Chain A
Amino acid sequence: MVNSTTTVDPRVATYLAGVAAALDDLRRGDREELLEEVEEHLADLAGESAAPLTSRLGEPEVYAAELRASAGLPPRERASRAALSRTVGVARAAVMAQPWVRPVLDFLTSLRPLWWVARGWLLVSLISVVQWGSWGAWSQRLPVVPHVGSGLMGLLAVLAVAVVSVQIGRRAWGPRGRRLLIGVNTVLALAVIPVLASLSEATARNVREPQVAVSYYPQAPHQGVTSRGDQVRNIYAYDAAGRLLTDVRLYDDVGRPLDLQLGQDPDRRALFDTQGQVATNAYPLRYFEPGTRVVADPSAGPQVVVPPLVPQPMGASATPAPSATTSAPSATTPAR
């Protein structure tokens, strides 16, 4: 049609464009062959008469529909679905052509028995979750086993269903059975989401349970020194007269320097003993003013009033008896 295009009647061009648009979902080869003949036809008609083409042929869409119907081509709507499935087919072929796809698919195929067992577990777990909610759905003693009456019953149920599932997987099914299986598999694959969510929720709750918390506690020992649950950040010592002491060296009951474990701080004043060792246990800790080597208030302390102690000789009775303060030292009570 190369040479004819130069002398195309405008009526032909317009009508042809309309027909072409109505065939635009067809495969390109089919479409071009059809349009070549349509153009030939339209040119013949235009050469015969000056009347508009539509008066003889109707609208381009009608012409195209008639052409498709008599040529055995699908109507436009169904054809676009066919075009979609053709596109999917092309994309699929392109993916399959990749060299890594086959080995990956083979590997996944070899994992099928694993899925057969997993979907058995999923089915029992899903029923358990739907039936009893996250809290009651899981066995407390057996991890990831759904609680069906008991954890053991749940385990047996999973095993029984898994056996059936494997048998189903090994059988060859007809097209109807296969379609049904695809549906069931899809539902169970989607069930992964609620089942795992429920499992993680139940597991998180178990961790918070006291019995588990006890075994958990020693894994994270508290650093430093605590008082009533709060970390101690400084220690102030007062003598019997109620005076704040400075640079008091403190040790624990086994002789280790008492360390508040506050970490490194360049502004903290460091003290050394006469042997050149750092004294980490001299309290209260003092801090320099930022950017200087000066402690602003060396006698700063907490807002407490410390009244002097009533003098009591060492080795006195341990019972704080306010009235009998002057009782004689007792040999029976060891001094602490």
Chain B
Amino acid sequence: MDTTQLLKGVLDVAVLAVVEEADGYGYDVVRRLRAAGLEDVGDASVYGTLRRLYTAGALTSYVVPSEEGPHRKYYGINAQGKKALAEQKKVWLRFSDTMNGLLRAGAER
């Protein structure tokens, strides 16, 4: 199964979860998602998702100047983002339980 299709549906909750753990800039979030096992995640998708969540008011952002290399735009979660994360987490857990139950039951037959 193509995991990039699955990723599209869960990227919001995945990004929110990573940012809740610690503030991060775009490429940092990409690396942490990959390190967590989502190796197929697209760089541009993560940047776009961060921007959309920020525009929707779920994230805050601030620029950190750096000596060598570019300035970094960091994202942090806010109260609205935390609420959204909690809801989406609940939805995902219930959904994955359902899917697990369905697929295991199928395998036992």
Residues of A within 8 A of B (CB): 1, 4, 33-34, 36-41, 43-45, 47, 56-57, 63-64, 66-73
Contact A71:B48 (CB < 8 A) given known A1-B70, A43-B70 = yes
B48–A67 contact, CB under 8 A? yes
B43–A70 contact, CB under 8 A? no
Contact A67:B70 (CB < 8 A) given known A37-B26, A41-B26, A45-B27 = no
With beta carbons under 8 angstroms apart, the residue of B42, B52, B69 that contacts A71 is B52
B72–A70 contact, CB under 8 A? no
Q: Mark B40-78 against chain A: 1 for CB-CB distance below 8 A, else 0.
A: 001111111111100100000000000001111100000
Question: In the assembly, what is the distance between CA of A37 and CA of B50, in Å?
Answer: 11
With beta carbons under 8 angstroms apart, the residue of B46, B49, B70, B73 that contacts A4 is B70
Count contacts between A and B, CB distance < 8 Å. Answer: 71
Which chain A residue lies CB-closest to B45?
A70
B72–A40 contact, CB under 8 A? yes
Question: In the assembly, what is the distance between CA of A33 and CA of B47, in Å?
Answer: 11
Question: In the assembly, what is the distance between CA of A246 and CA of B84, in Å?
Answer: 119
Residues of B within 8 A of A (CB): 11, 25-27, 42-52, 55, 69-73
Additional A-B contact list (17), CB under 8 Å, known A57-B43, A71-B52: A1-B71, A4-B71, A34-B47, A37-B51, A40-B25, A40-B72, A41-B43, A43-B69, A44-B27, A56-B43, A57-B44, A67-B47, A70-B42, A70-B45, A71-B51, A71-B55, A72-B52
Which chain B residue lies CB-closest to A47?
B69
B73–A40 contact, CB under 8 A? yes
Which chain A residue lies CB-closest to B46?
A70
Question: In the assembly, what is the distance between CA of A41 and CA of B44, in Å?
Answer: 9
B51 CB contacts on chain A under 8 angstroms = 33-34, 37, 71
A63–B44 contact, CB under 8 A? yes
Chain B nearest CB from A116 CB (Å) reads 46
Question: In the assembly, what is the distance between CA of A228 and CA of B44, in Å?
Answer: 96
